Amino acid sequence: MRNLTDLNRITKMSKEQHKGGVGASSKHESATKHVTGEAIYVDDRTDHVNQLHAAIGKSQIAHGRIKNLDLSAVLAAPGVVKVITAEDVPGHLDIGPVFPGDPVLAKDLVEYYGQPIFAVAAKTHEQAWRAAQLAKIEYEELPPVLDVETALAQQNFVRPPHSMQRGDADQAIEDAPHVLESHLSVGGQEHFYLEGQVSSAIPTEDGGMMIYTSSQHPSEVQKLVAEVLGIPFNLVTIDMRRMGGGFGGKETQAAPWACISALLAHITRRPVKLRLNRGDDMVMTGKRHPFENGYRIGFDDDGRILGADIIVNGFCGYSPDLSDAIVDRAMFHSDNAYYLDQVKIVGNRCKTNTVSHTAFRGFGGPQGMMTIEYAMDDIARYLGKDPLEIRKLNLYGQDSRNVTPYHQVVEHNVLPEMIERLEQTSNYQQRRQQIREFNQNNRILKRGIALTPVKFGISFTVQHLNQAGALIHIYTDGSIHLNHGGTEMGQGLFTKVAQVVAEEFQVDLDTINVSATRTDKVPNTSPTAASSGTDLNGKAAQNAARNIKQRLIDFIVQHHGVEASEIVFADNRVHFGDQSISFAELAQLAYVNRISLSSTGYYRTPKIHYDRNKASGRPFFYFANGAAVSEVIVDTLTGEYKLLRTDILHDVGHSLNPAIDIGQIEGGFIQGMGWLTSEELSWADNGRLQTTGPATYKIPAVSDMPADFRVQLFDQRNREATIYNSKAVGEPPFMLAMSVWSALRDAASSVADYRFSPPLDTPATPERVLKAVKATKQFQTNATTRIQAEEEVTA
Ligand code: MTE
Ligand code: QUE
Ligand code: MOS
């Protein structure tokens, strides 16, 4: 019998000998294919015989009724085979994901500029697009609502308002020694995934549909395609191997194009591909919600918050889409990392005649956090203190100072320790001093620095979405086929889940093949969203692997007459008694002995519950944390600036793959920086989006990376029982970019020796930074005049 030392030796050996298990910085499973161009995206799939290409005819007004739709020129255009309108939809017209409100093609009423009205199928992509421009449409125009103020004044909402509260915020503010109030405009954001929206539909022999689509939510596409066609769900199959980026923009926004290509395929009985060009994609798909937020906060002489009254108003666009959950998440993150003693938070879902805004990395959380971070800077300037001091003072802490406005207790709070550490490693205090000196000695160039924290709740706040399934087959050569409900969009989900399975069987990562996400393999899946992909699918895959492993162990016990405790999976082998066979031999042996080598797996997140009517419960299984210090330099004559250095300390628990996690942190931070600095959406007065390509919409370039970029993982395991005690990483780092915005404000504030907190809406473009500098100079001038006047009076 094998003794414990032997077992330990084998287990230890396995760490060295099987490649790519949990904790290894294995490269992304498609890294090589990505850089050689061999990775296949939907549009790279070989065309089918007889395939048609589709394009969309769009509304040219923001709000109105269609009086007359003349499509004769479209139908007569070269190559055109079929033109469809709402009248041609055999099943449901509405494809709203949660609540109704999104007709797949507009019927009578149009509610935003660019709304799909008809679709064309032609022999080529270009023929379809050209034909779609030839429609003659007469409208009866209605006044559009294009701003939040009007929507609020008219109580024009896509969903009813919602609020959460604890204690009596009004009273606490009234009783507080100091009160500040302000408002903040937070801009939206275009997803700018490199691969645009695309779907390819192929009719199947039994009246069903096979769809290849770039979607984060294959099960929802399956449901909606079946519903618009009026056929059962089991006749529709969705296949999704990889996206060229999703970022939330392919959660609901992929479905219309899948439905339209399916409708055209259903009607013509031919395969149909629909790929939006960049301009159409930007006009027709929802973006991050812009927000108009406000706060009124009471605090004591130290800057400790005593009462907070916060309002968040999301621009939802014309329909509910996911806005209810998005504004909820903005509300859930209005505290960010701070204890707000007596608090009231109100969220409005404003209806505007623009495209329906949707999920985008952080799902409303970033827009929610901005307000309290804005207030932190304002309180600091008012009291003449360093903003970091105010932030630290207000962090969630011990005793009763650890309960959120929705009554979830903040457990295992690592942020105070993380901030302490980052303050040290980034040399914050010394650099703050150097920056003060630099600013005193430089009239035109000013530097700024800020440290901002992030606390982000992990779990879908809609409880039933917190579940996942997986499917594993082991073949008789020992190679493993893995499938799960999550989708790959570049974030490394397939790699991490495969690592979990490699760890379970102690085999090399490259013996596992992860195949395309398909609705006929794992059914009824949740969107790959809320950063939960690895948490949910990793556990489901582990469950499937453990089912098979248990069968193999039972088999060895019976077949070889050894104790289960003596069986060890290690280094691509299984050891028992005095024997050791390869994993492939074991698979072969199990097969001939009629042991099933296939299993499904399932997982549901424990501990979570939430009563939305009471706005109370534990919506989040745990929190992911991070903090960043950014330093900028601003030209106060032009408002131009540069990010000089960023230090990040981020909490991913026990990392499943440090290389991929650091990639997510860097990418998320840069994407967040783009949102808060250069990416500005512009709509004309008639509701037409004017920023429809990279020439007018500025995403970060490689030259915008901080010259000095230091990312560290906070390597402490998650105290909750997540997959190998890791933490979700997809969205939280996005919000670390608030440090850049706050640093820009710090630089502007230096112009009045930090006694004034200039307004700085986002994106903080050079124009807005220049405005902030000017407001600060004005404050300085007024203050000087006032002092001179006072001196004259005294003299
Ligand atoms: N990383 C890449 N490279 N591409 C993406 O589209 N999407 C982000 C994040 N990281 C995204 C990404 C968003 S919005 C989410 S919710 C998560 O990845 C989803 O994947 P996960 O849950 O597997 O982390
Ligand atoms: C975070 C998210 C999502 C969320 C809630 C979060 C998300 C999402 C949904 C959602 C809600 C209701 C539905 C549905 C999806 O909720 O991405 O299909 O019926 O899609 O806290 O990221
Ligand atoms: Mo991410 S916004 O939850 O897709």
Tens-digit pLDDT profile for residues 231-277: 999 999 999 999 999 999 999 999 999 999 999 999 999 999 999 99
Residue 791: pLDDT above 90? no
The C-alpha atoms of residue 447 and residue 434 are separated, in whole angstroms, by 10
pLDDT tens track for 44-80: 999 999 999 999 999 999 999 999 999 999 999 999 9
Kindly state if the Cβ of 374 falls inside 6 Å of ligand 1: no
Closest residue by Cα to atom 4, ligand 3, is: 248
Distance 412 CA to ligand 1 centre (A): 25
* pLDDT > 70 fraction of the chain, expressed in percent and rounded: 98
The C-alpha atoms of residue 689 and residue 683 are separated, in whole angstroms, by 4
Nearest ligand 1 atom to alpha carbon 532:
22
CA 193 from centre of chain = 12
DSSP per position, 411-476:
-S--HHHHHHHHHHHTTHHHHHHHHHHHHHH-SSEEEEEEEEEEEEEES-SSGGGSEEEEEEEE-T
Closest residue by Cα to atom 2, ligand 2, is: 530
Which ligand lies nearest to the CA atom of residue 249 in the structure?
A: 3
Tokens of 85: 């309108």
Kindly state if the Cβ of 536 falls inside 6 Å of ligand 1: no
Residue 324: pLDDT above 80? yes
Residue 795: pLDDT above 70? no
Closest residue by Cα to atom 10, ligand 1, is: 730
Q: Which residues contact 221 (CB under 8 A, 6 or more apart)?
A: 211, 213, 215, 238, 254, 255, 258, 259
Distance 454 CA to ligand 2 centre (A): 21
Alpha helices in 318-406 (DSSP H): 323-332, 365-383, 387-394
pLDDT of residue 471: 98
Q: Which residues contact 614 (CB under 8 A, 6 or more apart)?
A: none
Nearest ligand 2 atom to alpha carbon 248:
17
The C-alpha atoms of residue 503 and residue 542 are separated, in whole angstroms, by 9
Decide if 394 contacts 416 (C-beta within 8 A): no
Instruction: Name beta bridge partners: 293.
Output: 184, 312
Kindly state if the Cβ of 497 falls inside 6 Å of ligand 1: no
pLDDT tens track for 651-690: 999 999 999 999 999 999 999 999 999 999 999 999 999 9
Distance 247 CA to ligand 3 centre (A): 6
Query: At CA 247, angle to CA 404 and CA 536, rounded to 5?
Result: 60
Kindly state if the Cβ of 216 falls inside 6 Å of ligand 1: no
pLDDT tens track for 331-390: 999 999 999 999 999 999 999 999 999 999 999 999 999 999 999 999 999 999 999 999
Which ligand lies nearest to the CA atom of residue 527 in the structure?
A: 2
- Mutation pick for ligand 3 pocket among 220, 240, 251, 526 (CB with most ligand atoms within 8 Å): 251
3-state secondary structure 586-616: HHHHHHHCCCCCEEEEEEECCCCEEECCCCE
Nearest ligand 2 atom to alpha carbon 329:
21
Distance 788 CA to ligand 1 centre (A): 56
Kindly state if the Cβ of 529 falls inside 6 Å of ligand 3: yes
pLDDT tens track for 117-164: 999 999 999 999 999 999 999 999 999 999 999 999 999 999 999 999
Domain ranges of the chain: 4-39+467-604, 411-459+622-795
Kindly state if the Cβ of 456 falls inside 6 Å of ligand 3: no
Distance 529 CA to ligand 3 centre (A): 4
- Mutation pick for ligand 1 pocket among 489, 493, 537 (CB with most ligand atoms within 8 Å): 489
Helices (H) and strands (E) in the chain, counts: 20, 29
Kindly state if the Cβ of 247 falls inside 6 Å of ligand 1: yes
Decide if 388 contacts 381 (C-beta within 8 A): no
Query: At CA 638, angle to CA 633 and CA 639, rounded to 5?
Result: 50
Decide if 200 contacts 212 (C-beta within 8 A): yes
Residue 13: pLDDT above 90? no
Which ligand lies nearest to the CA atom of residue 656 in the structure?
A: 1
Mean pLDDT value of segment 531-547? 98
The C-alpha atoms of residue 488 and residue 613 are separated, in whole angstroms, by 35
Kindly state if the Cβ of 28 falls inside 6 Å of ligand 1: no
Q: Domain 411-459+622-795: which CATH class?
A: alpha beta
Can you tell me whether residue 131 is helix, strand or coil? Answer: helix
Q: What is the gyration radius of the CA atoms in the chain, in angstroms?
A: 28
CA 181 from centre of chain = 30
Distance 667 CA to ligand 1 centre (A): 10
pLDDT of residue 786: 86
pLDDT tens track for 184-205: 999 999 999 999 999 999 999 9
pLDDT tens track for 176-185: 999 999 999 9
**CATH T-level assignment (fold) for domain 4-39+467-604:** Aldehyde Oxidoreductase; domain 4 (3.30.365)
pLDDT tens track for 578-628: 999 999 999 999 999 999 999 999 999 999 999 999 999 999 999 999 999
pLDDT of residue 790: 83
How much is the pTM? 0.97
The C-alpha atoms of residue 311 and residue 332 are separated, in whole angstroms, by 12
Residue 400 binned pLDDT confidence (cut-offs 50, 70, 90):
confident
Count of CA atoms in the C-beta half-sphere (13 A) of 667: 16
Distance 362 CA to ligand 3 centre (A): 6
4-39+467-604 and 411-459+622-795: identical CATH topology: yes
Decide if 62 contacts 113 (C-beta within 8 A): yes
Distance 357 CA to ligand 3 centre (A): 13
Kindly state if the Cβ of 459 falls inside 6 Å of ligand 1: no
pLDDT of residue 399: 80
Closest residue by Cα to atom 9, ligand 1, is: 730
Q: So which residues are the catalytic ones?
A: 731
Going from the C-alpha of 219 to that of each of 196, 481, 493, 766, the distances in angstroms are 20, 21, 18, 43
pLDDT of residue 10: 45
Task: Please name the helix (run of DSSP H) or strand (run of DSSP E) that holds residue 27, with its range, or none.
Answer: none
Distance 509 CA to ligand 3 centre (A): 27
Residue 712: pLDDT above 70? yes
pLDDT of residue 197: 98
Kindly state if the Cβ of 360 falls inside 6 Å of ligand 3: yes
Decide if 496 contacts 620 (C-beta within 8 A): no
Residue 226: pLDDT above 90? yes
Kindly state if the Cβ of 664 falls inside 6 Å of ligand 1: yes
Closest residue by Cα to atom 20, ligand 2, is: 527
Helix axes 387-394, 415-425, angle to 10 degrees: 160
Mean pLDDT for all residues in the chain: 96
